[in-house]
Amino acid sequence: MRVLVVDDDNTSRMIMQSAVETLDHECVLAADGDQAWRSLATLEPDVLITDRSMPGIDGLELCRRLRAQPERPYTYIVLVTSLAERADVLAGMHAGADDYLTKPLDPFALSTRLIAAERVTQLHAQLRRYQRDLLDLAHTDPLTQLRNRLSLNDDLATLHARADRRGTGYAIALCDVDFFKSYNDTQGHQAGDDILRQVSSALAKNARAEDLVYRYGGEEFLIVLPDNAMSAAQHAAERIRQAIQDLRIPHPHGVNGVITISVGVATLTPAHPETSDDVLRRADQALYRAKECGRNQIATSSGPGG
């Protein structure tokens, strides 16, 4: 483990360093709380062993600041004090410490604390991985492995706020698999699911690295193209439409006998401020026009009323 030892007394630091390294752990030293706090900006120690009483940022304040950053990997905190009063120990635990040691240092007591620290930090690391996995699952469509509607809501809110701050825009391409219901009805739901997987894979492969691809619902897919004007977005949509047609997946009732998509493209521009829901609504209206005009084509909406 990596252990950060904080003490304004040089002798105490050296004794602690020797004890920590004897137990085969990496030891990093800080001469006071201010130095420790600066180190914590980049350092992610598994364990923080900090003196209770120091000038500037003391041990209690260090505990409070560290616990006020829940997004950080968990650091096990051991508060060191020369005071034997229970109230002092209790104040440290309320501030965020996990355990305590008293001076002069007892190597056996330190060893037991580090054993406990290793177990606790491993459990927190495992919990953090589980949380990340659950978050990924919650934002992923299980059939296509694309981002889902929940992910779109979060991403679009962030992108829209950024565009508003910077005075920039973005584009949305809403795609619908043509005559999908008739394919599903005649070929079966398993075959329909396979079509959705193939289409989603082609969309992801033909999108740019910065584009975001979602399963919007049913046979609808949505692509967010950051910082794209209408001309670039229309070009990207045409590339994607062509890529699906080029799959040449047979469809007895499809356009030219193959699976195709219709696409509605809408852009947000600084000249026409509106909400992300407005842009989505216009993309949906454009998609409706593309389908009404014969499918396997693109319709656009460059601004409100466009």
User: What is residue 250's DSSP assignment?
Assistant: B
Residues of the chain with CATH 3.40.50.2300: 2-137
Selected residue with higher pLDDT from 83 and 113: 113
* Nearest residue to 300 via CA among 172, 154, 123: 172
Query: Which residue intervals of the chain are DSSP H helices?
Result: 10-22, 33-40, 59-67, 86-95, 107-138, 149-166, 180-187, 189-206, 230-245, 276-292
- Our answer to whether residue 220 is catalytic in this structure is no
User: What is residue 207's DSSP assignment?
Assistant: S
* Token couple for 281: 């609504």
* 139-186 tens-digit pLDDT: 899 999 999 999 999 999 999 999 888 888 899 999 999 999 999 989
Say which amino acid occupies 7: D
Residue 69 main-chain phi, psi, to 5 deg: -120, 70
* pTM score over 0.85: no
Residues of the chain with CATH 3.30.70.270: 149-301
Annotated catalytic residue: which of 61, 219, 238, 292?
A: 219
User: Looking at domain 149-301, does it have CATH number 3.30.70.270?
Assistant: yes
* 4-57 tens-digit pLDDT: 999 999 998 999 999 999 989 999 999 999 999 999 988 899 999 999 989 899
Pairing status of strand 99-102 against strand 220-226: unpaired
**Tokens 């920039």 appear where?**
168
Domain topology for 2-137: Rossmann fold (3.40.50)
